[in-house]
Amino acid sequence: MDLEAQLRDGKVGKVCCKGTCAIGSLGGLIGLIILLCSITSLGPEEQVVLFNFEGKYVRNGPATILVAPGREQERRKATRLGPREYAVVKNIRSGLVEHKEGPRLLFIGAYEVLEEVRQKVVLQKHEYTRLIDKLTGYERVETGPQTLVPEPLEVAPNGTETAIVLGNTLGVLIQNKKNGERSLITDGGVYTPEPYEVILEVRTATLLGEKDFAVVRDLLTGAFHVAAGPQLLQVGAYEQVEEVRPKIVLEEDQYIRLLNQRTGEERVVKGPTTFVPETYEVYPNGVQKATFLDADTAVLVLNETSGQERLVSERGVFVPEPEEEIIDTRTVIRVLPHESIVIRDEKGKVTVFSGDFDASQSSFFLPPYSEVVEMVWSDYSQAPVLGEQQNFTEKRFWKIDMRVRKMFFSYEMRTSDNVKLYLEGTIFWKIQNVPLMIDTTSDPEGDVWHHARSALIQAVSRNTLQQFMKNFNAITMKAFESQAADGFYTGRGVILESMELTRFECADKETSKILQEIIQESTNRINRLQTQKGENEVKEAELVAQIEMEKQRTEFIKAKAENKRMEARMEGEAAGTSQLRAADSFIAGLNDTVPNVTSRVELYKLHELLKSANVDTENLASGNAELYLTPSGVNLKLAIGDSAAPLEKRLLTQGIESAAVTQEL
């Protein structure tokens, strides 16, 4: 029995030594010292690892043990694990790893090593973790709410993940790692993936409005299809929404050309409508406006299948058919009565449209495969500078004016006596036969200019300078008549109307100076004659004007006298009318008192005489005049004692005599 066992049994004190007492006491002391040194006390959280010949083992506290001096030992602290902790313990002899779950006071074994203390995995509601065994590859999914301790060799590469709450608009695309198949989970609720399922994406459903549609692609086959709204579109596991487009809305005058990229087939949809194009249909040109055709508009249409062109001129809204394309919008060509237009077709045939030939040719559309022939003529419409070389330009046009044309010329030529002259004038010509002109010449204006020059040179060269100056108009006319009859112009479809020489000048300065003096003297003479003629005309006009003025004055006097007569007559008529009314009123007022009409008239006369006498007396009294009367002038007759004469007669006699006196004054 070792020392430790003896101490436990309490037999140490009973040992007796059969040797000597001194030796026994020394041995006891040494044994006591060894005993005290072998006592080891362990706390509640301590352990000791003891080694012996068989290996090692552990003793956990709290405890008091005896350990032989010199024996190998290792003291270790216990590990306190909380409720949310666990310890990773590895057995160094077997290599196995264990997870020790808390809460606890952990004493590990003699051959175990505490690698680390970890937190437990806490999963709340709607949380989960994916655990993978690194040794076997086995996978499991734990969902909350719970607290768990992973198994040894299990790892959570993604940690704690949140479950997906699915609604009406959400879906989860998952893939099974065992077989690689995909599936779309759209059922409402909380979704937690199963083991070996991987969430590829969370999809939100596409809301398609009433005017929207979606282009969906199948990822397995690459095929496309369209889904029209209104709907909440959730595509399949192997489908993908490429884009959302608005539906095509066509108004009354709109259309769209759709091309199927797979078959190459083309179709045209006309408005008004709202539609969704078929799969693989594209519309590179978008919505197009229909062409409104009226009397002035037509369209040239190309059939892309046959390559043929056609002209559409029917009035109304025109929409091309499939495989047709509008290559040109043509405006009606109007030809005035004095115009012509030349049209050339694809075979080179020339057609002339003239407004004065046929009413149907006055307006037309350019036919297919045809073009308007553009004319390029010399232009002599600018007046040249005398003595300088006449330059011309080219003019381009496509309407031929059939009216008389005017061109200017400036020629240099010599007379028969070798005097060099510069001639300037105008040529009037017109086109008569357009088809003939097109066939024979490309520049009729240049031909007319040069041929007229040749004819005029010939005419001038046959005359001297003196003859030319006297008869230049006749020479010009003779040259005109000769060239008009030579067939040059008729062979080109033109007519020379007239040729006028407006100015000429000698090239030699001395000759030109003498001619200028002659011309100046002739001009002065003509001016003097014109001046005298003008003076005579002025005098004649002055006399004529005076005669005319006197005639008008006579008429004025006559009119003035006639007006005075009319005025006096009107005044007399007015005064007479007034007196007539007054007399009528006076006489009618005496009907009851004086029955005799004659007596009433006599009384009215007396009344007027007295009234006149009173006026005269008033006028004399208000002025500075003096009145002298003679007895004979007064002619008074005394009626005293004469009872035969009535009172009225005496008064009447006095009134008449007074009136006579007033008249004399």
Angle between helices 597-622 and 509-589 (to 10 degrees): 120
- The residue with greater pLDDT, 520 or 490, is 490
| Beta pairing, strands 266-270 & 254-260 | antiparallel
Percentage with pLDDT > 90 across the chain: 15
Tokens matching residue 259? 């091309």
Neighbouring C-alpha atoms within 13 Å toward the C-beta of 259? 9
Question: What local confidence, expressed as pLDDT, does residue 36 receive?
Answer: 64
**Rounded CA gap, 645 and 632, in Å?**
21
Give mean pLDDT, residues 62-77.
Answer: 78
285-318 pLDDT tens trace: 889 999 899 989 999 999 988 889 999 989 989 9
Which positions ≥6 away from 267 have C-beta within 8 Å? 257, 258, 260, 322
The CA–CA distances, whole Å, from 231 to 210, 248, 281, 373 equal 8, 17, 22, 61
Question: What local confidence, expressed as pLDDT, does residue 431 receive?
Answer: 92
**pLDDT band at 37, cuts 50/70/90?**
low
Give mean pLDDT, residues 563-583.
Answer: 83
Question: What local confidence, expressed as pLDDT, does residue 299 receive?
Answer: 92
503-553 pLDDT tens trace: 887 877 776 677 767 777 778 888 888 888 888 888 888 888 889 888 888
Question: What local confidence, expressed as pLDDT, does residue 588 receive?
Answer: 75
Tokens matching residue 188? 């409402």
Question: What local confidence, expressed as pLDDT, does residue 34 receive?
Answer: 66
Which positions ≥6 away from 650 have C-beta within 8 Å? 637, 639
Give mean pLDDT, residues 442-459.
Answer: 90
Angle between helices 465-484 and 444-461 (to 10 degrees): 140
**Rounded CA gap, 287 and 267, in Å?**
13
Give mean pLDDT, residues 466-474.
Answer: 83
Among 78-87, 157-166, 568-577, which stretch is predicted with the lowest mean pLDDT?
568-577
Instruction: Quote the pTM value.
Output: 0.48
The number of helices, as runs of H, and strands, as runs of E, in the chain is 9, 48
| pLDDT at position 135 over 80 | yes
**Rounded CA gap, 61 and 78, in Å?**
9
- Polymer length in residues for the chain: 665
Question: What local confidence, expressed as pLDDT, does residue 361 receive?
Answer: 64
312-329 pLDDT tens trace: 989 989 999 998 888 999
400-438 pLDDT tens trace: 998 999 999 888 888 888 888 888 899 999 998 998 999
| pLDDT at position 658 over 80 | no
Among 79-93, 290-304, 475-489, 611-625, which stretch is predicted with the lowest mean pLDDT?
611-625
- The residue with greater pLDDT, 635 or 147, is 147
| pLDDT at position 388 over 60 | yes
- The residue with greater pLDDT, 585 or 248, is 248
Question: What local confidence, expressed as pLDDT, does residue 359 receive?
Answer: 57
618-650 pLDDT tens trace: 777 776 766 666 655 555 444 434 443 444 444
- The residue with greater pLDDT, 273 or 51, is 273
Among 91-100, 284-293, 374-383, 479-488, which stretch is predicted with the lowest mean pLDDT?
479-488
Question: What local confidence, expressed as pLDDT, does residue 470 receive?
Answer: 81
Which amino acid is it at 531? T
Question: What local confidence, expressed as pLDDT, does residue 652 receive?
Answer: 44
**Rounded CA gap, 403 and 399, in Å?**
12
**Rounded CA gap, 384 and 531, in Å?**
33
196-203's contacts with Cβ under 8 Å and 24+ in sequence apart are 196/139, 198/174, 199/164, 199/172, 199/173, 199/174, 200/173, 200/174, 200/175, 201/172, 201/173, 202/164, 202/170, 202/171, 202/172, 202/173, 203/170, 203/171, 203/172, 203/173, 203/234, 203/235
- The neighbouring-strand residues paired with 226 are 215
The number of beta carbons lying within 10 Å of the beta carbon of residue 547 is 10
344-362 pLDDT tens trace: 998 889 888 887 655 556 7
Whether 299 and 331 have beta carbons less than 8 Å apart is answered as no
Annotation: CATH topology of 374-507: Tetrahydropterin Synthase; Chain A (3.30.479)
Tokens matching residue 9? 């049994």
Among 5-9, 125-129, 156-160, which stretch is predicted with the lowest mean pLDDT?
5-9
Whether 204 and 211 have beta carbons less than 8 Å apart is answered as no
Whether 363 and 331 have beta carbons less than 8 Å apart is answered as no
Can you give the residue ranges of every domain in the chain?
Answer: 1-77, 374-507, 511-589, 595-664
- The residue with greater pLDDT, 38 or 111, is 111
**pLDDT band at 663, cuts 50/70/90?**
very low
* 535 burial via Cβ count (<10 Å: 0-12, 13-18, 19+): exposed
Percentage with pLDDT > 70 across the chain: 87
Which helix (H) or strand (E) segment holds residue 313: the answer is none
- What mean pLDDT, rounded, does the chain reach? 82
Whether 271 and 292 have beta carbons less than 8 Å apart is answered as no
**pLDDT band at 589, cuts 50/70/90?**
confident
